[in-house]
Structure 1
Amino acid sequence: MTQTAAPQETRNGGLALAVICVAQLMVILDATVVNVALPSIRDDLDFSLDNLTWVVTAYSLTFGGLLLFGGRTGDLFGRRRMFMIGIGLFGAASLVGGFATSEAMLIAARAAQGAGGAIAAPTALALLATTFTEPAARARAFGVFAAMGASGGALGLLLGGVLTDYASWRWALFINAPIGALVLFLTPRVLDESQGSGKKLDLPGAIAVTAGMSTLVYGLTKASTDGWDSTTTIVTLSIAAALLVAFILIEHFSTHPLMPFRIFADRNRTGAYLIMLFLAGAMFTTFYFLAQYQQNVHGWSPFRTGLGFLPMPATIMFMSIVVVRRLIPKVGIRPFLTVGPLLAVVAMISMSRLEPDSSYWQFLGSLLLLGLGMGCSFVPLTMTAVNGVAPHETGIASALLNTGQQVGGAIGLAAFGTVFAHGADDRFAELGARASTAVGQHEVFVAGQQDAFRAAIVVAVLALVSSLALIRVNKVAPPTPAATPALAAD
């Protein structure tokens, strides 16, 4: 039996929401916070160019690989307990990373951060879903939570730029330690524990999916640097496919599956996962290319680059917290899951038209369009992912949404990175000797970027198609203990 949600609402709801959302922001933010600090990290620790990418990849590798495992542990062993373990690991790893004196030490710390995040992120959403069940409070809570998740990447660029320019890249990691300690202090005071499901952990399934997801993220990362036709990419992705097929077979025959396939029986939930997958590919591509566009083409500093992105998370927060969460109880989620992807399509079209001499206002217009689209999408996506799920399965349902975001971002960067490279090479050949000049280099970069965003238009269109084809639910309901017996047959 799982604990009912009613007693939890009598506790300090505002502080409980703050604790969950700060933890979510901290985990999402760290996926991009070191991006603008990479040149400083390279100089300080004498990183090689090949190993420098692992400062980012090590985090995404363990985060993406362990998400399903992390979400399921909350369902089995108690969400609050696993949430605190995840935050504790994340904070401790951040502290170690801040003190790093070598390549290996920093990369290992970033990997440990990702592992902590993989436990904390899905359990945070599961805690939110079972803590806030009253419709108005639930809409507000999901609005704030979705705003943190959607804007975390852009805020990471800003925070990384500020800390790198005015303090040190190390503070981009140090800052997580006191925040994590505060979250750990408040969590048992404002959040109730859920009882575990009493089932055994599907260890073979956990090993297969963790190895498969980690190998998949690694293969996609190598594809973006080595190309899709390289031996490393082909072998790695083949191994990932074999491991994930093995995982599906294990789950089919397991009496206590890590990922019950009935989670996908709801077309709306499956639609939410697909929409998140596609939108994440477009969004992370934006962070990656436009941050370089402003620094390499327009000569902006890391701080100014982060500041230039600020209107985007501000727009996402305004839409999520002020507009969408208030209108969802009145108009439902379907209108927002149509308008959101549609705005993302328009944003990708706008970004594909940026030129070397484009003004900041053109850049800003593209960001605002994407911010509006993401602000419309993330609240209903988050609510749909856990809609009608039994309380003892909210962890795995939310983990799948996080997995869609992480894998979507990895696929997007790999695929669009390859498109970028081909576009840049073609332009380089066209320019001839002029390609070695500063102006020529800017033209080469922008040509590759334009091709990448043209490809991203297709992905945004797929998000829109997924919404129109699969989303049918309009009103959402909280997970209820009454649903547990019918859904817990496995």
Structure 2
Amino acid sequence: MPTTTEPPARVTPSRTYSRWASLVVLCAGTLMTILDGNIVTVAMPAIQSDLGFSGPGLAWVVNAYLIPFGGLLLLVGRLGDLAGRKRMFTAGLAVFTAASLLAGVATGPGLLIAARAAQGVGGAMASAVVLGMLVALFPEPTEQARAIAVFSAVGAAGGALGTFLGGALTEALGWHWIFLINLPIGVTAWLAAVRILTPERGLGAGRGADYPGAALVTGALMLTVYVIVGAGDRGLTGTLSLAALALVLFGAFVLRQARAARPLLRLRLFRSRVLTGANAVQVLMIATMYGFQFIGALYVQRVLGFGELATGFAFLPAPVAIGLLMLGLSARTIGRFGPYRVLLGGLVLIIAGMALLSRAPVDGRYATDVLPPLLLLAAGFAAAMPALTGLAMSGARAEDAGLASGLFNTTQVVGGSLGLAALTTLAATRTDTVLARGTALLPATADGYRLAFKVAAGIAVAALVLAGAVLRPRSR
């Protein structure tokens, strides 16, 4: 094995500045795409009234974004490895920003849905390669843990801030501004990315450019997200038929990758116990957190009687707590105790928060029935997410970093969509059942939410058990 006596390269102050400046750029682009996934929720009634959406058609304001976003993450993550991650990231910012302008000036349902789909494409292009770029920028474990904590804090805070900003912008300026606000952010982030991010040569389009495999996996993922987000709008037979078709496409993709000379997705990636286990745990954890975010907002509005802006303020402590904990404690805690123990501790806090929420009384008070579990969930997520991200990316080789990043983002979208569809369907079904027994609307609604919170707590328990069994470090 060759050796060298050369000392390791020193990191100069300018190089350090460039790396942290690059992290700021990556976080800004990610924040914009994450905000847009949640910011429309509070504005939906205003959009429906202004553009004349039907009830079922209104759901496509969200679905049109989620389907291409979730379906393309894996493909564009691999294309980022091949063509260069900076190129993919900057192209994604450009597409997302242009699509935001179209959405902001939309005068009819068709144009808005098309613009949302284009936002989903741009969001996938920008998001899929970020973790791969981050790991390459910060190879040293301590700095990498700190950078992942910053990135995770931005992502988590962005998801929670979406509800607040959606309510504030819609109430103050109109729903158009939930999209137009992306223009100055997107242009600034694009200019900064072009100037600050270091260009890198990809592996080359001829290495791994398996276009039939790309078509199969993209179709399978898009169909999976479509099945999940639309499960409540179609019958059981239709849902199962589409799910079976998605499985067939996934099976064909796996066979293609096993035989292709230059596969899009190297199946060896899944031999990593840590990478595979971390993605599986993420599906369950994000399903819990997305369910809390959506159903928690509904509980505060429909049961406690909060308005749009008040609901946004009610959830504001979550991103503040997540940001402070991730930036102040997360990296140091992971450095001291290791990501495995920190992940388990975070999941325990999430379970405790969901268990408290499962009380959800009809005459509840924000200070006693919402804020304490909200802070527990924020603390748990602040601990668990950076630890889980570090574990997932540690299981991938350097040449597969973009693909691993795309995979991690894909399981995040699938987990969120799955949790949202399952928990909202459970809550609605339970409410209808209780109403049929003659119970008043408010108690029946609260009963439906209580069931959803209990199931979410059970999903978090499953995540804890899976993490304990699969991600435990092996003794040397």
Q: Same fold (TM over 0.5)?
A: yes
In the alignment, structure 1 residue 210 sits paired with structure 2 residue 218? yes
Distance in 2 (CA, whole Å) between partners of 1:226 and 1:419 is: 15
Distance in 2 (CA, whole Å) between partners of 1:260 and 1:276 is: 21
Q: Contact conserved, 2:65 with 2:118, CA < 8 A, in 1?
A: yes
Give, in angstroms, the shift of residue 357 of structure 1.
Answer: 0.9
- Residue 410 of structure 1: aligned partner: 417
TM-score normalized with structure 1 length: 0.91
Q: Within 5 A, what are the aligned runs for 1:1-400?
A: 9-10=15-16, 12-198=18-204, 199-226=207-234, 229=236, 231-361=237-367, 362-387=369-394, 389-400=396-407
Give, in angstroms, the shift of residue 388 of structure 1.
Answer: 5.1
Q: Contact conserved, 1:324 with 1:376, CA < 8 A, in 2?
A: yes
Divergent runs of 4+, >6 A: 4-8
In structure 2, the CA distance between the partners of 1:56 and 1:464, relative to structure 1 (3 Å rule), is same
Count of matched residue positions in the alignment of Structure 1 and Structure 2: 463
In structure 2, the CA distance between the partners of 1:355 and 1:298, relative to structure 1 (3 Å rule), is same
Give, in angstroms, the shift of residue 249 of structure 1.
Answer: 1.1
- Greater alpha carbon shift after TM alignment, 354-363 vs 465-474: 465-474
- Greater alpha carbon shift after TM alignment, 9-18 vs 263-272: 9-18
In structure 2, the CA distance between the partners of 1:70 and 1:50, relative to structure 1 (3 Å rule), is same
- Residue 455 of structure 2: aligned partner: 455
Q: Contact conserved, 1:5 with 1:131, CA < 8 A, in 2?
A: no
Distance in 2 (CA, whole Å) between partners of 1:343 and 1:397 is: 27
Q: Deviations over 1:368-416 (max 9, x none)?
A: 1111111011111111121153322111101111111100111112222
User: Unaligned 5+ residue runs, structure 2?
Assistant: 1-8
- Residue 478 of structure 1: aligned partner: none
Q: Deviations over 1:204-227 (max 9, x none)?
A: 111111111111111112213335
Give, in angstroms, the shift of residue 6 of structure 1.
Answer: 7.3
User: Sequence identity, in percent?
Assistant: 40
Q: Contact conserved, 2:169 with 2:178, CA < 8 A, in 1?
A: yes
Q: Contact conserved, 1:78 with 1:195, CA < 8 A, in 2?
A: yes
Give, in angstroms, the shift of residue 9 of structure 1.
Answer: 4.3
Q: Which amino acid aligns with 1:224?
A: G
User: Unaligned 5+ residue runs, structure 1?
Assistant: 476-490
In the alignment, structure 1 residue 441 sits paired with structure 2 residue 447? no
Give, in angstroms, the shift of residue 51 of structure 1.
Answer: 0.5
Structure 2 counterpart of 1:421, from 423, 428, 434: 428
Give, in angstroms, the shift of residue 5 of structure 1.
Answer: 12
Q: Contact conserved, 2:295 with 2:424, CA < 8 A, in 1?
A: no
Q: Contact conserved, 2:43 with 2:170, CA < 8 A, in 1?
A: yes
- Residue 470 of structure 2: aligned partner: 470
Give, in angstroms, the shift of residue 418 of structure 1.
Answer: 2.3
Q: Contact conserved, 2:272 with 2:396, CA < 8 A, in 1?
A: no
Q: Which amino acid aligns with 1:460?
A: A
In structure 2, the CA distance between the partners of 1:256 and 1:450, relative to structure 1 (3 Å rule), is same
In structure 2, the CA distance between the partners of 1:242 and 1:182, relative to structure 1 (3 Å rule), is same
Give, in angstroms, the shift of residue 239 of structure 1.
Answer: 1.3
Distance in 2 (CA, whole Å) between partners of 1:298 and 1:338 is: 33
Distance in 1 (CA, whole Å) between partners of 2:196 and 2:123 is: 21
Distance in 2 (CA, whole Å) between partners of 1:5 and 1:67 is: 35
Distance in 1 (CA, whole Å) between partners of 2:127 and 2:72 is: 11
Cα-Cα RMSD:
1.9
